[in-house]
Amino acid sequence: MHREDGYRDRSVLIHGKFRSEKWDFQDHILPPITTAVAFRLRSAQRGADAFQQFANPGVDRDTAKPIYIYDRLDEPCVGLLEETLAFAEKGECAVCFGTGMASVSAAIGIHVRTGDHVVFHPAIYGCTYSHIVNWLSRFGVGHTAIRMHDLEALRAAIRPETRVVYFESPCNPTMELVDLEAVVRLVAEVNEGREPERRVVTVIDNTFASPYGQRPITMGVDYVVHSLTKHISGFGASMGGVVVGPRTSETALLLYRKDFGGSMTPDTAWRILTYGLPTLAMRIEHQQDTAQRVAEFLELQPTVASVSYPGLDSFPQKALAQRQMRDIDGDFAPGAMIFFTMKGDPDQSYRAAIQVCDHLATNALSVTLAVSLGQIRTLVEHPASMTHSTIPPDEQAKAGIVPGGVRLSIGLEDERDILRDLESALASVGA
Ligand X SMILES: *Cc1c(COP(=O)(O)O)cnc(C)c1O
Q: Which is nearer to ligand X, 147 or 199 (CB)?
A: 147
Q: Which is nearer to ligand X, 99 or 303 (CB)?
A: 99
Do 132 and 108 touch, CB atoms closer than 8 A? Answer: yes
Stretch that binds ligand X, among 85-93, 95-103, 196-204, 360-368 (CB under 6 A): 95-103
Q: Is residue 207 involved in binding ligand X (CB under 6 A)?
A: yes
The crossing angle, in degrees rounded to 10, of helices 250-260 and 100-109 is: 120
CA 304-319-413 angle, 5° bins = 50
Nearest approach, Cβ of 159 to ligand X (angstroms)? Answer: 25
Burial class (CB in 10 A: 0-12, 13-18, 19+), 81: buried
- CA dihedral of residues 383, 389, 390, 391 (deg, nearest 10): 70
* Ramachandran quadrant class, 190 (left: phi over 0; alpha: psi -120 to 50; beta: rest): alpha
Q: Is residue 99 involved in binding ligand X (CB under 6 A)?
A: yes
Nearest approach, Cβ of 368 to ligand X (angstroms)? Answer: 16
Q: Is residue 168 involved in binding ligand X (CB under 6 A)?
A: yes
Nearest approach, Cβ of 36 to ligand X (angstroms)? Answer: 25
Nearest approach, Cβ of 174 to ligand X (angstroms)? Answer: 12
Q: Which is nearer to ligand X, 13 or 107 (CB)?
A: 107
Give the CB-nearest residue to ligand X. 100
Nearest approach, Cβ of 372 to ligand X (angstroms)? Answer: 7
Provide the 8-state DSSP code for 70.
Answer: B
Q: Is residue 381 involved in binding ligand X (CB under 6 A)?
A: no
Q: Report d(CA 291, CA 284) in Å as an integer.
A: 10
Q: Report d(CA 125, CA 100) in Å as an integer.
A: 11
- Residue of 12, 200, 239, 402 interacting with ligand X (CB under 6 A): 239
Provide the 8-state DSSP code for 401.
Answer: -
Q: Is residue 230 involved in binding ligand X (CB under 6 A)?
A: yes
Nearest approach, Cβ of 95 to ligand X (angstroms)? Answer: 15
Counted residue by residue, the chain has a size of 431
DSSP SS3 for 301: coil
Nearest to 231 by CA among 265, 266, 282: 282
Q: Is residue 100 involved in binding ligand X (CB under 6 A)?
A: yes
Q: Is residue 125 involved in binding ligand X (CB under 6 A)?
A: yes
- Residue of 162, 174, 227, 251 interacting with ligand X (CB under 6 A): 227
Stretch that binds ligand X, among 70-78, 134-142, 224-232, 421-429 (CB under 6 A): 224-232
Q: Which residues bind ligand X (CB under 6 A)?
A: 99-101, 104, 125, 127-128, 168, 172, 205, 207-208, 227, 229-230, 239, 241, 373
